[in-house]
Amino acid sequence: MSSPNAESTAFRSALEVIRAVEPRIADAIGAELADQRESLKLIASENYASPATLLAMGNWFSDKYAEGTVGRRFYAGCQNVDTVEALAAEHARELFGASHAYVQPHSGIDANLVAFWAILADRVESPALKRAQVRQVNDLTEEDWFALRRELGDQRMLGMSLDAGGHLTHGFRPNISGKMFDQRSYGTDPATGLIDYDRVAAAAREFRPLILVAGYSAYPRKVNFRIMREIADSVGATFMVDMAHFAGLVAGKVFTGDFDPVPHAHIVTTTTHKSLRGPRGGMVLCGPELADQVDRGCPMVLGGPLPHVMAAKAVALAEARRPDFADYAQRIVDNAQALAEGLLGRGATLVTGGTDNHLVLIDVSGYGLTGRQAEQALLDSGIVTNRNAVPQDPNGAWYTSGIRIGTPALTTRGLGAAEMDATAELIHTVLSQTTPGSNADGTPSKAKYVLDPALADKVSRQATDLLSTHPLYPSVTLT
């Protein structure tokens, strides 16, 4: 274990070196730490990486090119990168019980691209596909994509709709996945907000997708991956799970059995931050049948690996294999449920009426607000959230009718059920005291709002007081 003095010395020294070259960057880094220490971070996709993970990213591995994979590089002198990548993959396999792990993706989107192309390469032999594999993806025009799709037989993807909690990378047109695939969505039951597996099965039988995607960014319940695999098998689809949001709950063995995607999916993608509490990056897990294709991620769709980030992934994955991570993962869910109960008790409307995981989705139309108005009013009050669509959202994906909140970050800081109830009170106070604003011509605005600055300041101070007994990075002092 490092000493607090060692961690403080490391970060202070780093800032001194940076300040000598560009002091404004050093100031921005220090300001970001101060802001994070003083605000209630409730963005479900954010967390706080450990000092060891953060420090692992700032080193000489940043200077090394290492296209290829362990033992098969296109550059010489990669022996140390091989060590780092092999360790990160080993920790990932052991942590998740996977037979193969690919730790190079720079993000969750990159991980999904690797998975998509691995599935296509495994399932389809095509001259167009082979050409695409050796070209830079960014060089392909939209016409190229659709020509490729036609040659491949109009490949189809079935994934969760955006307003039901799905993700842009699961086949939606603005994302590259929507150019690669003919996409259709499954939603949730209008009455409950829950996945209706019978409806998913019916959609799969009608659409006959090549890939059935499960996973979410704003669905507050568990998914039964055993049933989803059965649906995929019934139509001959490859079953892919994007567990970017809930990977920490899988790693911490909160999600097991039917709710652990790794034993059921053909291929699993994830980010390494969010609930996993590592550096920003991605990862792919799969069985031996797809391993060779996945390992071609670079140069198929990825640029050169980021060895310094792979080093940080190895550190974070090693941390997640410790017994205390399981306790942390369980507390994430306990806190989310306490937060949900606190909001429900104050009259808030929650999508699905609660949560089984790390996130809560508030329908703020009950407060007479759009998601954009609520998001900014909360930010003014020291509470950091993000707006999010709710099922059948009348305000669309930009203004939205929802606010998504999550508990991974506050759980890292050590907050518990009592603090979650206090947080629910602060959120409710702000939302109930915020009213919609008007445009210059007097028409109702979906963005402008009215909130007493004195109330916002009071709530912000209360939020800071709530956090004062749970300091962020207590081992790190910059002055």
Active-site positions read 65, 67, 242, 271, 274, 280
Do 357 and 246 meet the contact criterion of CB atoms below 8 Å apart? Answer: yes
Separation of alpha carbons 219 and 326, rounded Å? 22
Helix/strand/coil percentages in the chain, nearest 5: 50, 15, 35
From first CA to last CA, the distance across the chain in angstroms is: 23
DSSP reduced 3-state for 271: strand
Amino acid identity of 147? A
Separation of alpha carbons 244 and 326, rounded Å? 17
Amino acid identity of 21? V
Which tokens hold the place of 364? 């703020």
DSSP track, 98-139 = -SEEE---SSHHHHHHHHHHHHHHHH---HHHHHHHTS-GGG
Separation of alpha carbons 331 and 319, rounded Å? 16
Strand blocks (E) in 118-275:
156-160, 182-186, 211-215, 238-242, 267-271
Q: How far is CA 169 from the centre of its chain?
A: 12
Q: How far is CA 168 from the centre of its chain?
A: 12
Separation of alpha carbons 451 and 455, rounded Å? 7
User: Cα dihedral angle (57, 59, 60, 64), rounded to 10 degrees?
Assistant: 10
282-286 vs 267-271, strand pairing mode: antiparallel
Do 255 and 222 meet the contact criterion of CB atoms below 8 Å apart? Answer: yes
Q: What are phi and psi of 275, to 5 degrees?
A: -70, -15
